[in-house]
Chains A and B, each alone.
Chain A
């Protein structure tokens, strides 16, 4: 009895394509106009980039196992978006410092998460949940109701605009592809990646095979924080405005994207390609529902139901009886 097996990233991508083609049949869909279809596809991909990058850190902590999860990602996105906004304040030459600050602030928050989880044995769920509150509190104090700043033209050029007038691919997508390749290299072609999978499966075995589990845990959460920080930088470069609730809507979709992409939520198995596919599926569904002018209530329900169906297909855990 051989089961038909299809890898989750591929399944998610096929689903995305089917959904997209179906959306063309909607009353206000692209119909048979290929140019419009291409434009819509590009736009959805561009939107998926932000969720995809924010979900990268989530992928790492989930692979690291021991109930790893980062619930502070949303608030970190907001914080670094605001920092970028304030630091850059319209000046091109401040973009690089702003990026570095975003990465560093994210990394420090991640490091605190990692320290609490590793040394104080707080479960990742509550530690990062608590940290999310702390970060949000910090934002409120820094913010005090209003921020003044501005993104720089070069950010808009590099993130929101297409590569060139002839090649209508937004830069964000190119950044994402490079980013995806780097993530693949990190997970599959470095000792760090191999050790990450190892601690995700079995920390005792990993330690007895010479893996510095403590160090790996700290590094993983820091890296996840830094990646969320990078996400905040990208998001503000795209939207051009900041507000307190900017990052939070990305949080749970980032976890969902990882799950839809076939990464085991219990750790030790998964890929960033899968997360990318997951981010595309989720973004596609959201934008489809928006196109169909569905009210918020229906959008939520459809998103929930889709997620439920997807994980029912390949998110099943091993049965107790074999």
Chain B
């Protein structure tokens, strides 16, 4: 059994972009190391170095003190290193079992895949998470048909299926609900006892303190601190990550007063129904910042996308007391709606196009024929600087930006249109703490300008700290509404789980 792996003075460039200048990480058997850092600090690159997905530009990997080289993911895997990827490495066309055992299928004497063994072993693995699945998950289900959290679990099972000694969990909890996270942590404890090592990459402080034994902090591609988690607290960790302390203040925003009750109702939904939503009704006022809570996948996405005209629905939606029924996002957009979708890369950005083209995509029609490109550039520059967008230039591709800056582009393209209603689907997912703080200021400011904001977040702290009211969704319905005194973490969690002892019904 291997006892330790260390990465020393790792350097990695992507083209001209430097991802790591001096990355260091040390992990031993029977411990969990939390790899922490703001977005773009090089966390993902660090895990890709360890599992052989990227070529090193400098530095050294040591396995039990001996230098080792991973020229391909296969060699790292042979050395007992498994990765749970943030960007899923599953193949949608294959089944659950085929995905888990890909490249390691048990074969019979004719070289054919032994279906019986595959089936039995897959069932064993699925049993590890039994009871946390929303669908009837069986080994022959095609992966394309699974919800995101279950795909993530298959990804975890795939990694542990070959009994590695080191497991890298790269943002593996980001799409899991609390029950699934709980189960994962139980498993992590078990793996530790079996002599395995775990590298845990996450943005969630609470989870880090719950599970990690050690920490290692990256800032701008450099390891700036490491040690025992017992010797440090949340504040100190964040300080290491960003060097400024101002952020925490925003996590607990000032308590909101009831002044907005005077405002007129801007957006109203009556028994909104889709194949997932089961009659959702609410009223939002002008200038209100309303959160949507609940476990992941309770219909939050469907609600936002239906309102934006992206999904067909039945029911009534009124905008400033006038009934509207959008059949295409374009109609919603023309009526002053904006949607920041949940999957930035797949739904929010044109990856290979320039920042300019991304920012202006919804607005080009305003710039005449032929397009007044100079005017457009000026407007884009203005939006960019108002959002504190860090970029080398408007002509650079969006793919050159870090996660937080890329998200600013998604928000920026809507701000250029001065929307009246802003719908956001988990906008701070995978965004570093510093940028999160900027978003909180921005959202508060926008609501003060009189915009209506409806905003789903998977981060309970965010909802409590930021929102006037929180609508908690459960199984396609709004289960509870929390506001003022009832808006507490306890109530939020209990109503998320479908227990309604906390808030007002």
Distance in angstroms between the alpha carbons of A209 and B353 in the assembled complex: 14
B205 CB within 8 Å of chain A: no
Q: Which residues of A have CB within 8 Å of B330?
A: 210-212
Q: Which residues of A have CB within 8 Å of B54?
A: 321-322
0 or 1 for each of A42-72: is its CB under 8 Å from B? (1 = yes): 0000000000000000000000000000000
Instruction: Decide: A189 and B341 in contact? CB cutoff 8 A.
Output: no
Instruction: Decide: A205 and B373 in contact? CB cutoff 8 A.
Output: no
Q: Which residues of B have CB within 8 Å of A322?
A: 14, 53-55
B369 to A, closest residue via Cβ: A190
Q: Which residues of B have CB within 8 Å of A189?
A: 369-371, 373
CB distance from A121 to the nearest CB of B (A): 16
Q: Which residues of B have CB within 8 Å of A208?
A: 308, 310, 329, 339, 341, 347-348
A299 CB within 8 Å of chain B: no
B361 CB within 8 Å of chain A: yes
0 or 1 for each of B329-350: is its CB under 8 Å from A? (1 = yes): 1100110000101000011111
B357 CB within 8 Å of chain A: yes
The interface centre, meaning the residue of B308, B347, B361, B373 with most chain A CB atoms within 10 A of its CB, is B361
CB distance from A68 to the nearest CB of B (A): 16
Residues of A216-267 whose CB lies within 8 A of B: none
Instruction: Decide: A209 and B361 in contact? CB cutoff 8 A.
Output: yes
A268 CB within 8 Å of chain B: yes
Given contacts A191-B364, A202-B346, A204-B347, contact A209 B53 (CB under 8 A): no
Instruction: Decide: A195 and B364 in contact? CB cutoff 8 A.
Output: yes
Distance in angstroms between the alpha carbons of A322 and B15 in the assembled complex: 9
Instruction: Decide: B350 and A201 in contact? CB cutoff 8 A.
Output: yes
0 or 1 for each of A1-28: is its CB under 8 Å from B? (1 = yes): 1100000000000000000000000000
Q: Which residues of B have CB within 8 Å of A212?
A: 328, 330
B10 CB within 8 Å of chain A: no
Residues of A143-202 whose CB lies within 8 A of B: 185, 188-191, 194-195, 197-198, 201-202
Partner of B350, one of A188, A190, A268: A268
Q: Which residues of A have CB within 8 Å of B308?
A: 208
B351 CB within 8 Å of chain A: yes
A319 to B, closest residue via Cβ: B55
A94 CB within 8 Å of chain B: no
Residues of B366-425 whose CB lies within 8 A of A: 367, 369-371, 373, 413
CB within 8 Å: A-B pair count = 87
Distance in angstroms between the alpha carbons of A201 and B16 in the assembled complex: 23
Instruction: Decide: A209 and B329 in contact? CB cutoff 8 A.
Output: yes
Instruction: Decide: B329 and A210 in contact? CB cutoff 8 A.
Output: yes
Instruction: Decide: A205 and B346 in contact? CB cutoff 8 A.
Output: yes
A206 CB within 8 Å of chain B: yes
Distance in angstroms between the alpha carbons of A1 and B58 in the assembled complex: 14
Instruction: Decide: B329 and A207 in contact? CB cutoff 8 A.
Output: yes
B360 CB within 8 Å of chain A: yes
A321 to B, closest residue via Cβ: B55
Residues of B452-488 whose CB lies within 8 A of A: none
Distance in angstroms between the alpha carbons of A190 and B14 in the assembled complex: 33
Q: Which residues of A have CB within 8 Å of B364?
A: 191, 194-195
Residues of A266-322 whose CB lies within 8 A of B: 268-269, 321-322
B498 CB within 8 Å of chain A: no
Q: Which residues of A have CB within 8 Å of B365?
A: 191
Instruction: Decide: A201 and B353 in contact? CB cutoff 8 A.
Output: yes
What is the interface size of chain A, counting residues whose CB is below 8 A from a CB of the partner? 26
Distance in angstroms between the alpha carbons of A200 and B322 in the assembled complex: 36
A320 to B, closest residue via Cβ: B53
Distance in angstroms between the alpha carbons of A189 and B372 in the assembled complex: 8
Q: Which residues of A have CB within 8 Å of B361?
A: 194-195, 198, 205-206, 209-211
B356 to A, closest residue via Cβ: A194
Q: Which residues of B have CB within 8 Å of A194?
A: 357, 360-361, 364, 371
Q: Which residues of B have CB within 8 Å of A198?
A: 350, 353, 357, 361
CB distance from B454 to the nearest CB of A (A): 16
B362 CB within 8 Å of chain A: yes
Instruction: Decide: A209 and B310 in contact? CB cutoff 8 A.
Output: no
B352 CB within 8 Å of chain A: yes
B72 CB within 8 Å of chain A: yes
A1 to B, closest residue via Cβ: B13
Distance in angstroms between the alpha carbons of A206 and B54 in the assembled complex: 31
Q: Which residues of A have CB within 8 Å of B413?
A: 209
Distance in angstroms between the alpha carbons of A206 and B361 in the assembled complex: 8
Q: Which residues of A have CB within 8 Å of B370?
A: 185, 189-190
B370 to A, closest residue via Cβ: A189
Distance in angstroms between the alpha carbons of A189 and B334 in the assembled complex: 22
CB distance from A217 to the nearest CB of B (A): 14
Distance in angstroms between the alpha carbons of A209 and B362 in the assembled complex: 5
Q: Which residues of A have CB within 8 Å of B347?
A: 204-205, 208
CB distance from A267 to the nearest CB of B (A): 10
CB distance from A96 to the nearest CB of B (A): 25
Instruction: Decide: B351 and A202 in contact? CB cutoff 8 A.
Output: yes
The interface centre, meaning the residue of A190, A197, A210, A321 with most chain B CB atoms within 10 A of its CB, is A210
Distance in angstroms between the alpha carbons of A224 and B109 in the assembled complex: 55
CB distance from A305 to the nearest CB of B (A): 30
Q: Which residues of B have CB within 8 Å of A197?
A: 350, 353, 357
Instruction: Decide: B55 and A201 in contact? CB cutoff 8 A.
Output: no
Q: Which residues of B have CB within 8 Å of A206?
A: 350, 361
Distance in angstroms between the alpha carbons of A194 and B413 in the assembled complex: 14
Distance in angstroms between the alpha carbons of A322 and B330 in the assembled complex: 38
Q: Which residues of B have CB within 8 Å of A269?
A: 352-353
Distance in angstroms between the alpha carbons of A268 and B357 in the assembled complex: 12
B353 to A, closest residue via Cβ: A201
CB distance from A166 to the nearest CB of B (A): 33
Distance in angstroms between the alpha carbons of A189 and B374 in the assembled complex: 11
Residues of B1-57 whose CB lies within 8 A of A: 13-14, 16, 53-55
In the complex, given contacts A268-B350, A269-B352, what are 18 additional A-B residue pairs having Cβ atoms less than 8 angstroms apart? A188-B373, A189-B371, A190-B369, A195-B364, A197-B350, A198-B350, A198-B357, A201-B351, A202-B349, A204-B347, A205-B347, A207-B329, A209-B361, A209-B413, A210-B330, A211-B361, A212-B328, A321-B53
- Would you give 16 A-B contacts (Cβ < 8 Å), ordered by A? A185-B370, A189-B369, A189-B373, A194-B360, A197-B350, A197-B357, A198-B361, A201-B350, A205-B348, A205-B350, A209-B329, A209-B413, A210-B330, A268-B353, A322-B14, A322-B54
Closest 7 CB pairs of A and B: A189-B370, A191-B364, A210-B333, A201-B350, A210-B330, A209-B361, A209-B362
